[in-house]
Amino acid sequence: MGDPGEMTNPKLKTKLWEYGNRRRTDGPYVDNLEVDALVVGGGFGGVFCFYSLRKAGLKTVIYEAGTDLGGTWRWNCYPGAMVDSEVPEYQLSIEETWKTYNWPSNYPTYKELRDYFDHCDNVLDIKSNTAFESVVTGAQFDAEEGRWHVKTADGRTAKAKYLVIAAGFAAKRYVPNWPGIDKFKGILHHSSFWPDEEIDVKNKKCAIIGTGASGVQITQAWGPVAGELKVFQRTPNLTVPMRLRPLTAEEQWAGKKWYKELFHLRESCFGGFLYTFSEKNTFEDSPEERERFFEKLWSDGGFRYWLGNYKDYLFDPKANRAVYDFWQKKQCERLKDQRDRDILTPVEPPHPWGVKRPCLEYRYLEQFNRPNVDVVNIKNNPIAEFNETGIKLQDGTQYDFDIICIATGFDVVTGGMTAMGLQNINGKTLEDEWKQAAVTYLGTTVPGYPNMFHLYGPQGPTRELFPLCEPKLYIQQTPPVMITIYIPSITVPYPKSDCHVVLSNGPTSVEIQGRWITDAIKHMENKGIKYINPTDSASKEWKKKINDLSDKSLFPTTKST
C-alpha cells in the first residue's frame, strides 16, 4: 500500500496518494527538507504536536495530505457532516485558541470546524510551516545517521530526527470489493472522499450503503430533500440523541473562566469528555431509580447514556440488557412503522449495547417515517454486485439509482499507518509486520521504528484509554537505560485487536499523547540521546496488558469497525 504504482478504481478515488501534488518549491515544500521533527497530519493531533515541539525549540514541519488544516474535517465534507463530540471539550486546550473563539452550536459542522482551524492558524501560525497535498509514501530510519528518510507521492524527500505520525485513525478508506462497481453509470462517491461541490439530490433516486456515523448523518441530510432514498443497513446503529442547540457568545464568554478546569477534568473522565461512569452498579438502584437515572442521561443527551451510565454495564450482560431495553423502548417510539421498528430498533439486541460506538443524531429515525425514505435490511441478503443502473442483492432484487454514497468507513486504526510505506530498520514494511496484528509500545511507539511516535492510532486511546500504569520507555544505549514518564491515567478495558471502538474524545487523547511525545523528545534532546526504540518484550507486555483488560469486558463479543 502507499505505492503510487498500485491499481486504483477508475470510478472512485480511495487512496490518499491520488491527492498528492507539489504545490510549491519553497518553505516546507522544498526538496531535501531537513528538520528536527516531521509531523505527518494537520488535524488536532498534528497541530498540537507541531505547537508543542516548536515551543520546545525544535525545527518542525507538518506534511498534510489534504488541501488545508483540519485533518478529518477537510476530508469529511459529505452532506450533513458534523462532529458528534461536544463543545467546549471538543477543542484544543491551548489558551490562545479558546480565549478568543466562540462556537455557533454545541456540535459544530465540518464547515465550522474548518473555520476553527483557520482561527488556530491565525493565533498560532501553523500553515506557514505546513506542506499541503504532501502525501507520505515511504519512510525509513537510518540508525547510523539517526535520521528518518521520508518520501512523498510527488517525489520529494525529507530528513528528520523525529517522525510523528498524527494521520488519524481513519486515514485509509474502506470500500468492499463489490463486483461491477466501475460499471455504475450514475454518481458514486465514498463518504470520506466527498467532492467539495454540492450534489443535488432533489428528485433523484439515492442510496446510502452503511449506517455508521457517516451514513447516519447523510441520512439526516438527504432524507428531507432526496426524491427517493434507500439506506442499506447491515447492523442497526444504536444511536442516541445528541441534543443539538445553538450556543450564544454570552454564555461562552461567561464560561471561559472555567475552561482551564474543564480541560483538566476531561483528562480524568473515561471518554475524555466532562462526565464519566456512575459509581453505582446497575442493580444497586431500584427499578424506579434506574428509570429516573436513564431518563436523566437520555434527556441530557450526547454520549452520557454511553459513557456516563452505570459502571458495570460494559462488563455484565444482564446490566447491559437493561441499558439496551431502555434504549429500545425510547427509540422504537419514534418510528411509525412496525417493519422499520423491527429493522432499526429490534427487540433483541444485535450486540451488547455500547460495545460499538453509538452515533449521536438529532432526527435520524424520523427520516424513516418519510414516504421517500426506506431502510433495506442487508444483514442476511448482502449486496452481490453493482451494475450500470444500480445495485443487485444476493437474492436477485435490483435497485436502480442516480446517486450512490458508499459510507462503509475506513480501515480504522492501523490503516493510516500501514498505508504510509513505513519500513523498519531492517527494511520490512509495517504493512507486512502488522498483517496479523499491530504491535506497539504504549500505543505511541513501535519496536523497530526508532524515534517514531504515533498518536490517536493503534493500541492508544483512539479506542481504548490508557490503563493505570507507569509506562517504561527503553532507550537504545549501551547499557540500556530506562526512563519512566507518567501518563495521566484512566483505568479501562481494552478491546481485542479486531474490535475497534473509538472510545475517546480526539482532542483530549491527542493532547495527553502529544505532551508525552514532547516530553520524551525533550528528554532525549537534553541527554543527547540519538534514538529510542521500544523493546519487543516491552511491546509484548503492553499487548498482553490491553488484551487482559479487554477480556474482562463485553467488548470482545462483537466485531466492530
Question: Footprint of ligand NAP on this chain (CB under 6 A)?
Answer: 82-85, 170, 176, 191, 209-215, 232, 234-235, 357, 378, 382-383, 407-410, 502, 561
Q: Kindly tell me which of 377 and 489 has the beta carbon lying closer to ligand NAP.
A: 377
Shortest distance, position 50 Cβ to ligand NAP, whole Å = 22
- DSSP structure string for 210-244: --SHHHHHHHHHHTTTBSEEEEEESS----EE---
Shortest distance, position 210 Cβ to ligand NAP, whole Å = 3
Q: Which residue is nearest to ligand NAP (CB)?
A: 212
Q: How many residues does the chain have?
A: 561
Q: Kindly tell me which of 30 and 378 has the beta carbon lying closer to ligand NAP.
A: 378
Which residue reads 432499526 in cell numbers? 344
CA distances from 371 to 366, 480, 482 (A): 11, 68, 65
Do the Cβ atoms of 161 and 174 come closer than 8 Å?
A: no
Nearest to 321, CA basis, from 280, 279, 349: 349
Q: Kindly tell me which of 210 and 514 has the beta carbon lying closer to ligand NAP.
A: 210
CA distance 462 to 560: 14
Q: Kindly tell me which of 409 and 457 has the beta carbon lying closer to ligand NAP.
A: 409
Shortest distance, position 404 Cβ to ligand NAP, whole Å = 12
Shortest distance, position 232 Cβ to ligand NAP, whole Å = 6
The two beta strands, 373-377 and 383-386, are: unpaired
Shortest distance, position 154 Cβ to ligand NAP, whole Å = 28
Do the Cβ atoms of 417 and 430 come closer than 8 Å?
A: yes
Q: Kindly tell me which of 83 and 455 has the beta carbon lying closer to ligand NAP.
A: 83
Shortest distance, position 526 Cβ to ligand NAP, whole Å = 38
CA distance 91 to 120: 10
Shortest distance, position 82 Cβ to ligand NAP, whole Å = 6
Q: Kindly tell me which of 448 and 460 has the beta carbon lying closer to ligand NAP.
A: 460
Element (H, E) at 188: strand 187-190
Do the Cβ atoms of 40 and 160 come closer than 8 Å?
A: no
Torsion sign, CA atoms 197, 203, 206, 211? positive
Shortest distance, position 252 Cβ to ligand NAP, whole Å = 21
Q: Kindly tell me which of 108 and 421 has the beta carbon lying closer to ligand NAP.
A: 108
Q: Kindly tell me which of 214 and 220 has the beta carbon lying closer to ligand NAP.
A: 214
Do the Cβ atoms of 187 and 11 come closer than 8 Å?
A: no
